[in-house]
Structures are given as C-alpha cells and as structure tokens.
Homo-oligomer: A and B are copies of this chain.
C-alpha cells in the first residue's frame, strides 16, 4: 500500500532531482530551429508555451521547482531564464560549447552528487512532446524506485506504430522491484530500424521506443561513465569540485571543458549498462514524440489525419486548396497552397523551406550545405 501511494501521489519525490539537458538545435527542424532559436525554445504543439516550459511543467510535480537543473549553452541563458523564472540560479549549468550528452548529464550528476550524496537524478530531453501527465509521472515514479534499487533506469514508450524515426529498447524479464512493479530488464538498445524491422519489433511486443530518459542514482551514473571513459569522468569530477565556488569555476571550465570527449550517453552508459544487466526499463503508456522532423511535427499537429493541413504560427494567414501536410508560419504573410500533398512549408523572416513529409529527414543536409556555402546568417 505504501508503495502504491508513492507511485500515484502528486507530491515531489524525496531526494529526486530532474536534469534537463537543453542543448540540441534540432537541425531537422530548420529554418524554424536555429542556433539562436533551438527547438526547445519553440512552441511546437500550439500549447502556447515552449517545449522547454512544457518539460519544466511536467517535472515540477516530480522534483519540485527547487530541484530541477538545466544544462544549456551560454547563448541560451537569458532565454532559458525567461522561460523558467522559478529556475534556481545554482541549477543553471552553462556549457561554454556543446560536448554531447555524456558531458552534459555527467556534469549535472557530478555537481548534484557532490552537493547531496546519494541523490537520484532523472534526465529528460528539453524538446520532446508528452501527453498524459499522470501516466508519465507514474512511470517516472516507478523508475525512481528502480533507481533506488540500484538500477540505471529508463522509461521506454510502448510503440503504437512501426516508427522508423526512433531507437528501440529490447526488454527481457520482469525485475519484481519494490515500488517498480512493471520494471523490466533491458537486453539491448536498437538503432532506428527500417520499416520491415520496425514492423517486426511492433508485432513481437518486446520492444519499446527509446525516449532518452535516464533515472539513476547520480553516483552509479558516474561509476558507469568511469567504467567506460575514465578520463571523461575525471574531467567531470574536477569540474564539479570547482563548480560551486565562483573563483574556481571559470578557470576549471576554461581548462577542462574543451578537452572533454564528445560522446552520447547511449554509448557511455545505456548500452554498456544494458549489456552488464545494470539497466532497467519502465514501460510508459503515454503519447510521446521527439518531434525529430517536420513529418513528425505535421502528424503531431494534424490529429493524426493525413488529409489535413496542420498550421503552426500565431499570425498564420493560410489559404489551402486541396493541400495537406504542415505550414509553419512565423510571419503575417498570406501563404497559399494549391494542390500540394504532404507538403512542408516553413516560412520564417529570412528563410523558407519547401519539402515533403517523405523528405523530412533530409532537412539536415540543407543545414550542412548552408554551413559549407557560408550562409551561416540563416543557421
């Protein structure tokens, strides 16, 4: 009964810290997402607030406002603080330059472990979309229980279709952990599959979508990083030691940060921990999307009806005749579509993108081409 109540209660979880790495630009959402307007600073659902703020609002009931840490780039500090006025100053961790997710989440873990040994942290992307808060919170509460039992724990989303844009988690047996009745072992992580493989995953019922959520004791996360990347851990611990003293933080960052290995946490923590049986997964029964590209954004905003035209933008003036897909409008210009199906039109003050849902993943290549041609003014 005690455990049950713990899962469903609305009170923040003891000793639990949420970490939000808010780093990625979201290049596949260019020209909406930019270096100075990354994906997490956009309202992509028509909710009226940014994805970052949505993330914050989801986590406050779990951690409380005082126990949410945001790791972001120096350039985004003002925007982040505007979005999250209740974010405590010591909980803003600024990166001098992006060094990928192991460094971002690892530094947060090291700082928090130093401040509060034995703390449990949960890391949640700043730019994902989740609907059904109670189910999300229930899953995280179970994950915290699994973390308390010593597992590095992730929340995997129960697939609803053979998606090819997500990574998958192949799970195994039930762990029977106290407070985490649905916790399962993780056999392995799978890269984004082709359609045939994705269909097989869906049918088998043994796969979940990888939503990049990690809930774990901070010390165990650091231990895992140290096992696989001892030099990286060393740098993170040194940084953490210097962090809370204004006199030592700056020099430490300048000295250590640029030398940290750029590597995703999937390779330093998730995959090796899974292989060693130290990873658990809680199946999440809620709508989740990483909004990885405009096809995903279109689906998200059209209520799943392929025949519809989704329109995103406060001042959008869109005239559609026999057209479907998505229009993202950042201007008051009249946008007229005639007979274009599954179209993607993104209209920003200085750049316009026209493509189709089918080609949505190729948007990143345009960003690369713009970099190469020196057109960095629109990136």
Contacts and interface: CB of A to CB of B under 8 A. Distances in A.
Interface residues of A, number: 36
A338 B317 contact: no
Contact of A352 (B31, B351, B352, B356): B352
A32 to B, nearest CB: 12
Number of copies: 2
Contacts of A2: none
B339 A356 contact: yes
Nearest to A337: B354
A160 interface: no
B352 A340 contact: no
Nearest to A361: B338
A194 interface: no
Interface stretch (A168-176, A249-257, A362-370): A362-370
A334 interface: yes
A322 B375 CA distance: 20
A338 B321 contact: no
5 tightest Cβ-Cβ pairs between the two chains A and B:
A339-B359, A338-B355, A334-B351, A338-B359, A335-B352
Nearest to A332: B350
Nearest to A339: B359
Contacts of A352: 333-336, 345, 347, 352
A270 to B, nearest CB: 32
A11 B378 CA distance: 54
10 contacts: A319-B369, A332-B350, A333-B350, A336-B353, A337-B355, A338-B353, A338-B363, A340-B343, A340-B354, A347-B352
Contact of A354 (B332, B345, B375, B378): B345
A94 B335 CA distance: 34
B358 A339 contact: yes
A209 to B, nearest CB: 26
